[in-house]
Amino acid sequence: MNLFKQTVAGTLLALAAIGCAPKSDLDRKVDDLLAQMTLREKIGQMHQVSGGADLFEAAAKGEIGSILNCVDPEAINAVQRAAVEQSRLHIPILVSRDVIHGFRTIFPIPLGLAATFDPALVEQGARVAAIEATASGVRWTFSPMLDIARDPRWGRVAEGSGEDPYLDALMGVAMVKGYQGDDFTDPSSMAACLKHFVGYGAAEGGRDYNSTMISERSLRNTYLPAFQACVDAGALSLMTSFNEIDGIPSTGNSFLLRDILRGEWDFDGMVVTDWNSSGEMVAHGYAKDLKHATELAVNAGVDMDMMSFGFATFIEELVKEGKIAEKSIDEAVRNILRLKFRLGLFENPYVDAQHARAKVYAPEHLAAAKQSAVESAILLQNRNNVLPLDKTRTILVTGPMADAPYDQLGTWAFDGEPEHTVTPLQALREEYNVIYEPGLKYSRDTDTRSFAKVRAAAACAEAVVVCVGEEAILSGEAHSLSKLHLQGAQSELIAEVRKSGKPVIVVVIAGRPLTIERDLANCDALLYSFHPGTMGGAAIADLIKGKAAPSGKTPMTFLRDAGQAPFYYNHNNTGRPCNGTETLLEDIPLHAGQTSLGCTSYYLDTGYGPLFPFGYGLSYTTFEYGNIKLNRSSFGLDDTIVVEFDLTNTGSRDGVEVAQLYTRDLVGSVVRPVKELKRFERVALTPGETKHLRFELPVAELAFWNRDMQFVVEPGAFQLWVAGDSASGTAHPFSVE
């Protein structure tokens, strides 16, 4: 290194050491623009409103930083033109939308995408969504939702990746990469927004917007890892959540927004409130009025306000009163401008309105949506291998979800078009001679007068396919349920066709794991498809016919009864765990002694275990795990655990198995989960084929937040499983020294 380079390098190190590292070109642009702005113009950048015709004047005055819920490219260009060509500083508008699982081409709901255990496919779907949405002018989506969900009563389980932090993190990172692409300035790059920060999925009783009680340790061990993974992956924005934690609403929580997000994680993206979550701090009883809520939110570290109008109304007054420092406003606006520069909006603010429709429903988009729906479907029961129906010619198709193009798209499909939806009925007609009798008009229908027609039709068919489930409106935000069984007379319809003596295949199309134990008794096979989107019917038909094999795995535990909720595989043990011996209600003798039932942790009516565990799903073939070996039995803190094993297709059909690796820390300074997912891999095998597989797990990934709130690996005894679900396999011991 020559003297000049040594001098420059030394200067850079010295500047960095005192926190004065040279600014990047991006930061210089942001600071130059910020220096020209008045306080009112800064406040305008912090203001987001829902799209409408009254925005042009405000945009021309520089009083709006972002709009949402406008997908008309002509209207977007008009508002953008007012901002860019008429405002004093020519700052473009950032256009946002809830693009959650597709824009026009709708993919399975995120819970269904998680069931694929296929991050690469999920990334592909997010890229499709970005291409289609940005063609209409949307450059910012409020996705992915990273809320850990352990209670299926909560309707928003549909929008996330289930109960496991590791799966949640991988799916979230895949979505971030898919939305944002490799080049933020590419017109097809759509900024991701991580939500909801944080703990929203732990709502008490599964009731949306409810309180959450989460300790800091649980927050760090369970609810924050997916957010941190996505921040590390380059997510450009983040949204605060509606809930409070330990009495402090997230939108006013400086510990979350400043200490953790900015301080520990070095996040330099933008933070936006959820819809009026700033104003809702008044209803919480945390702020006395909207002005006070604005003060709390800005000082906590929020950059942009979505639809409370408090920022636009009160910030200037609060700055004059000294309750908000203008330095805090500068910090917020700097984050907003940085995002707009990163997306290339200053250079390319407009959208090609004439060709927006040409970017949707491309053949490759539909193919990706179909493959996602295929891989997301979970085979939960298949008695006597009744599926696939590859030799059957005539079938009865019945049930309210057989031909429900709108409801099949699921929640948060604002821009999906039902006329483009392929339903099971449509697709099955291409494969079979179909007799169609819906039986029920919609999922909540209790009118059974058409059952006689269904009975008559079943007599003429070789097999019956019953499509049941939930309408789209029954899951998603604010759509919580206390009872999780099939609504209306759907279970009665299944029981009715069972009387025909024909093979009965039930297809459940729903937004959450329902309590379907009573329905399993009345069918030979059950295929579960979380609202599968535009191409869901084609995927279901391929699975029933055998053109594709099911490979989905449960991303949430399936309960026997809603009374078991919350229930999740990675729970802590009690001091009296259920030991497998259960005395249920019907077996309790009269006048039994108080302690005669064993005094362990289970329900007298449903027992202990779930209906189906996390990670569970059948195939049209069977798999065997063998020769599971660790590279050694004891490891140091810097070592890597190598697990090798053989996976064999022991059946007669092609299949894909999701091999899963779980660990358990047997003794910790705080109680540790009974199992934790650490790795998984989708493996395709032909009949009789064996593949030798290998998982590598650095010991560092066994770390957790311990008794002293330190993120460490504690030496001691561990166990490891390699299996097809969270409840299977044999424990293999190892230790960390």
H or E element at residue 97: strand 94-97
Q: Are 67 and 50 in contact (CB under 8 A)?
A: yes
Q: Which pair of tokens denotes residue 398? A: 């019945």
Tell me which residue has tokens 């009296």: 576
Give the helix/strand (H/E) hosting 273: none
CA nearest 132: which of 179, 197, 63, 62?
179
Q: Between the CA atoms of 327, 331, 332 and 335, what dihedral angle is there, to the nearest 10 degrees?
A: 160
Smallest CA-to-CA distance from 103 within 360, 368, 370, 355 is with 360
- Residue 136's nearest CA partner among 418, 412, 356, 383 is 356
For residue 582, the 8-state DSSP code is -
| Whether 402 contacts 436, CB under 8 Å | yes
- Residue 703 token pair: 């770390």
**Nearest partner of 547 among 365, 387, 367, judged by Cα:** 387
Cα–Cα distance list, 89 to 34, 69, 92, 331, 608 (Å): 10, 25, 9, 18, 64
The closest alpha carbon to 96, from 67, 73, 131, belongs to 67
Q: What number of other Cβ atoms are within 10 A of residue 355's Cβ?
A: 10
CB proximity list for 227: less than 8 A, separation 6 or greater: 146, 172, 194, 197, 198, 238
DSSP secondary structure code for residue 257 in this structure: I
Question: Is it true that the peptide bond before 374 is cis, omega within 30 degrees of 0?
Answer: no
Do you know the residue count of the chain? 737
271 touches 257 (CB < 8 A): yes
d(CA 242, CA 208): 9
Question: Could you give the CA distance from residue 415 to residue 412 in angstroms, rounded to a whole number?
Answer: 9
Which residue in the list 118, 164, 274, 725 is annotated as catalytic? 274
**How far, in Å, CA of 166 to CA of 143, rounded?**
18
**Is 102:127 a contact under the CB 8 Å cutoff?**
no
- Angle, CA 149 vertex, CA 274 and CA 444 arms, to 5°: 90
274 an active-site residue? Answer: yes
Distance from C-alpha of 413 to C-alpha of 450, rounded to nearest angstrom: 31
- How, if at all, do strands 66-68 and 94-97 pair? parallel
> Quick one: tokens of 414?
């604002």
Q: Are 694 and 643 in contact (CB under 8 A)?
A: yes
Asked if residue 249 has a cis previous peptide bond (ω within 30° of 0), the answer is no
| DSSP-derived pairing of the beta strands 655-665 and 716-723 | antiparallel
Residues contacting residue 465 through CB under 8 Å, at least 6 positions apart: 395, 396, 397, 398, 399, 402, 424, 428, 505, 507, 544
Q: 91-123 in b/e burial notation, b at 16+ Cβ within 10 A?
A: bbbbbbbbbbbbbbbbbbbbbbbbbbbbbebbb
- Residues serving a catalytic function are 274
